[in-house]
Amino acid sequence: MPIKLFDSLTREIRELRRPDPNNPKDVFSFYNCGPTVYAPAHIGNFRTFIINDVLRRLLELEYGPSKVKHVRNLTDVDDRTIGQTQKEKLPLGEITKKWTDLFHADCDALNCLRPHVEPTATGHIREQVDMIEVLMQKGNAYRAPDGSVYFKVSSFPNYGALSRVKERELKVTNSVFDADHKDEVGDFALWKAYKPAEDGDVKWPGPRGASEGRPGWHIECSAMIKTLLGDTIDLHTGGVDLLFPHHENEIAQSECCNGTKFSRHWYHSEHLLVEGTTMSKSKGNYYTLGDLVEKGYSPMAVRYALLMGHPRKQLNFTLDSLHAAESALGKLRSHFDSLQIFSNQAASTQSSSHYSEVIEALCDDLNTPAALGALFSSISNWGKNDPSAADFLAFKQVLEVLGLELKKTDEAAPIVAQQLAEKRWAAKKAKDFAGADALRKELTAAGWSMLDGKDGYKLEKLKG
């Protein structure tokens, strides 16, 4: 089945290139921008990463696992990571390792596949310097008086094609200090000269003729893509916030350096709103995965909730949507349990078409809400046909593509325990702590523990 995605460059839905199945070396090259590892990733970041994970799984389903190469970078040197070293008085590597480890743990909890390659900016300094030197030789970049190097935007006539930046006022994305050293206000930094007071001990030898320092933000992705995937890739993705200036600048520097098209296809996912507005710590609606787990929600419910809106439309994330996600996952688990009788049976050579509309929706511009709707529609129509082992395998397949992991549910609490829990929760909310303690003792005597969260509780059966 062909996979069609909206292309941010051409502004139309286009079919992705299918690699030649008879050529082992022909693989679909797929790059998405990863996190800047200076703090925990928030759920807005993870919406993009989960969307990319579903896309990766869909590509492997349609093209074959060996025909897809997925690269996602880690930005481990920039203004924010260096700023964190100054704040915590720790080495750069120690800071970035801590947040990289947390990012990986969160990805694992959300059932996101690890990329085939996960390069770091600090691990590819030489490649970035090499690209900058080529751009300087070609006249696309110049050395500033302070020893920094800037890309000359006027040297690339197609600048702005992705973001339509020429149709509006060009944004100033560098500091005033940097602007004093640039030829034009729109030029962007490829290499930043070392500033002892700001950079501490973070520095590397610069391109020929430039000062020691560190790379600018944009050049890292171009250098890692060129090194790991080649001069032209099949698909580049990221959040819509990266469209300008980051991806616009990637195109300019890569195409000027390599002399060829940078990416055949561009795909961007939209912003996440929380409780109807942008996320902000001051608004109290800024959530990391850890924050939501502390409230009693499962990572799988977070994943499901982030798939409930079309990736190219803003999604309003609410705590109520997590309750709906938990309920939906419960129904999927029940359906999965009903098919378990076929788990040890061999499927016939004829495949099941029960869930084909799920895959069709994903192949049509990664329409995740339509895919989830088709999944539940298939379940509701289940009684019209006799189930088979092929149906069981097909159901497992669509769950795998969506990345929904249905762990076996714990033993359900009896009605008596549920009623005690509800009474205790009500007593706690009413600040009747003596009554709440007494009800907890009754629950313990009944063999159940009650784990309190900020917005709810969870019952667990006591061992022994």
Q: Does residue 387 lie within any of the structural domains?
A: yes
216 and 331 fall within a common domain:
no
Residue 255: Cβ-neighbour burial (10 angstroms; 0-12, 13-18, 19+): buried
Domain count, the chain: 3
Cα–Cα distance between 418 and 450 in angstroms, integer? Answer: 10
Give SS3 for 153.
helix
Structure tokens at 193: 């000269």
DSSP secondary structure string for all residues of 52-100: HHHHHHHHHHHH-GGGEEEEE-BB-SSHHHHHHHHHHT--HHHHHHHHH
Asked if residue 193 and residue 58 are part of one domain, the reply reads: yes
Radius of gyration of the chain (CA): 26
Query: Is 407 domain-assigned?
Result: no
Q: What is the pLDDT of residue 409?
A: 45
Residues 279 and 175 in one domain: no
Residues 190 and 58 placed together within one structural domain of the fold: yes
Verify that 281 and 352 share a domain, yes or no: yes
Domain C-terminal end among 269, 284, 319: 269
Q: Are 102 and 211 in contact (CB under 8 A)?
A: no
Give yes or no: residues 382 and 314 share one domain: yes
Residues of the chain with pLDDT under 50: 167-169, 171-177, 349, 409-410
- Per-residue model confidence (pLDDT) at position 183: 87
Q: How far is the C-alpha of 87 from the C-alpha of 122, rounded, in Å?
A: 20
If asked whether residues 184 and 328 sit together in one domain, one would say no
pLDDT tens digits for 45-73?
999 999 999 999 999 999 999 999 999 99
Question: Does 455 lie in the same domain as 375?
Answer: no
- In this structure, the strands spanning 68-72 and 141-143 are unpaired
Last residue in a domain, options 246, 269, 292? 269
Separation of alpha carbons 158 and 138, rounded Å:
17
393: burial class by Cβ within 10 Å (0-12, 13-18, 19+)?
middle
Domain-located, residue 47: yes
Report whether 256 contacts 49 (CB < 8 A). no
Euclidean distance between CA atoms 189 and 2, whole angstroms = 39
Is 322 within the bounds of a domain? Answer: yes
Residue 348 has a pLDDT of 52
Residue numbers of the domain that contains 456: 415-461
pLDDT tens digits, 107-166: 999 999 999 999 999 999 999 999 999 999 999 999 999 999 999 999 999 999 999 976
Burial category of 85 from C-beta neighbours within 10 Å (exposed 0-12, middle 13-18, buried 19 and up): buried
Q: For residue 146, with 0-12 CB atoms within 10 Å meaning exposed, 13-18 middle and 19 or more buried, which class applies?
A: middle
- How far is CA 246 from each of CA 37, 129, 233, 251, 339, rounded to the nearest angstrom? 17, 18, 17, 9, 47
Indicate which CATH number applies to the domain containing 228: 3.40.50.620
Q: For residues 378 and 382, give the distance between their C-alpha atoms in angstroms, rounded to a whole number.
A: 6
Give domain status of residue 409, yes or no. Answer: no
Q: 423 forms bridges with which residues in the sheet?
A: none
Helix (H) or strand (E) holding 83: helix 79-88
Look at residues 236, 233, 231, 229 and name the one whose alpha carbon lies nearest to residue 259: 231
Burial class (CB in 10 A: 0-12, 13-18, 19+), 324: middle
The pLDDT score that the predictor gives to residue 346 is 55
Last residue of a domain, one of 203, 234, 269: 269
Q: What's 229's DSSP letter?
A: T
pLDDT at 39: 95
Residue at 408 is within a domain = no
389 & 426 share domain: no
Kindly state whether residues 298 and 210 are assigned to the same domain. Answer: no
Give the per-residue pLDDT at 389.
77
82 lies in the same domain as 194:
yes
Question: Do 316 and 427 share a domain, yes or no?
Answer: no
Q: Which helix (H) or strand (E) holds 304?
A: helix 299-306
Tokens standing for 34? 């990863």
